[in-house]
Amino acid sequence: MKTFKIHCSQIGKIMGSAKKPGKLSETCQTFLKEWYAGDREEIYSKYLNKGNYVEQDNIDFMASVLGYGMLEKNETIFSDEYMIGTPDVTVPDAVADVKSPWNNKTLHDALEMNPDYDWQLRGYMRLVDRPKAILFYGLQNTPPEVNNDFEIMFDHIPENERWHGYTITRDLDIEKSIVEKVIKCREWLEEYDKFVKSRLGKLL
């Protein structure tokens, strides 16, 4: 069995509290079973496709409104002993993840911080050694390539009403809690590996 590392985008799946102290949550155990089986499937949708199509445009938008100048999407995969991840953007003082809402309502729906994204950004800060992280939502025009040849325009909306974001500060104690949970996940997987191998290929 390969050594378990958590992808930053999935940290939220393992960090929930269990009903019994010292145990892993049901959500975490289900995720670990899927990881062990290698059954994770890629999800495709027009909403995700839009994000891919307009990603650099949104990075440029973030750079403009936040005063970062010219920015390029990061392609480097960072990893350490416990986690792995690829932040959208790295700058000297921060890492950033860029989200491209489908429409204006979707932008408004994200006005409260998604806890999973908080966990994701904390992983990025550890991997890239940055003191803060930015989660940026920017509303871009929807290209026809992802919407049945129909383009949806948002240029009529004032710029300051087409974005919002969050800044979080690095917390070493929280990072320590992630590492501790990864170690518990590895221990759980060792026992699960023994359980699976003791039963497969046998008549019980």
pLDDT of residue 19: 79
Check pLDDT > 80 for residue 142.
Answer: yes
**C-alpha separations of 109 from 48, 112, 155, 169 in Å:** 16, 7, 20, 23
What is the token pair recorded at 162?
């087409």
Residues above pLDDT 70, as percent of the chain: 100
Q: Which tens digit of pLDDT belongs to each residue from 92-110?
A: 999 999 999 999 999 999 9
What is the token pair recorded at 167?
């800044």
Check pLDDT > 80 for residue 44.
Answer: no
Q: List domains and CATH numbers for the chain.
A: 40-178 (3.90.320.10)
The whole-angstrom separation of Cα 108 and Cα 48 is: 17
pLDDT of residue 202: 87
pLDDT band at 163 (very low <50, low <70, confident <90, very high): very high
Chain centre distance of CA 14 = 13
| Residue at 183: amino acid letter | I
Q: Which tens digit of pLDDT belongs to each residue from 165-175?
A: 999 999 999 99
Does this model's pTM top 0.85?
A: yes
**C-alpha separations of 57 from 65, 70, 136 in Å:** 12, 11, 13
pLDDT of residue 117: 97
The whole-angstrom separation of Cα 101 and Cα 51 is: 8
Q: Are 115 and 12 contacting, i.e. CB atoms less than 8 angstroms apart?
A: yes
Can you point out the beta strands (E) in 51-180? 78-79, 83-85, 89-91, 94-99, 132-138, 163-169
Check pLDDT > 80 for residue 204.
Answer: no
The whole-angstrom separation of Cα 146 and Cα 85 is: 26
pLDDT band at 39 (very low <50, low <70, confident <90, very high): confident
Q: In this structure, are strands 94-99 and 89-91 parallel, antiparallel, or unpaired?
A: antiparallel
pLDDT of residue 1: 81
pLDDT of residue 22: 78
